[in-house]
Homo-oligomer: A and B are copies of this chain.
Amino acid sequence: MIDQDEDRADAFFHALADRTRRDILRRVLAGEHSVTALAASYDMSFAAVQKHVAVLERAGLLTKRRSGREQLASGDVDGVRSVASMLTELEDVWRGRIDRIDQLIQGD
């Protein structure tokens, strides 16, 4: 199933397409935070923030670990890197186009 990758890309970019989720990701990349601690930072219900955390987790951009009654969220830098590499691949496609144009100019 090749479009497994496309599913992953959908989840990645969708997760990043919301400013609250990007902000949460910044915080948990900087250090561990409980869901409650994160929720305190935003002007929305706990449940809303918890859902955002769940979206980031399903996308593979964040992991959680239990510590007593708290769930500590931590950013997954490998996830971020793999999104970045998708964009690099897009840039490579573009580079291929430039190479082709160069060949054309040089009359092949």
Residues of A with Cβ closer than 8 Å to B? 3, 6, 9-10, 13-14, 16-19, 22, 25-26, 29-31, 75, 77, 80-81, 83-84, 87-88, 90-91, 93-94, 96-97, 100
* Partner of A91 from B14, B31, B81 at Cβ < 8 Å: B81
Instruction: Kindly list the 9 A-B residue pairs having the minimum CB-CB distance in the complex, ordered from nearest.
Output: A13-B17, A14-B17, A29-B94, A84-B87, A13-B16, A77-B94, A29-B93, A6-B19, A30-B97
Q: Are A31 and B97 in contact (CB under 8 A)?
A: yes
Q: In the complex, A5→B90 CA distance in Å?
A: 22
What chain B residues lie within 8 Å of A94 (beta carbons)? 29-30, 75, 77, 80
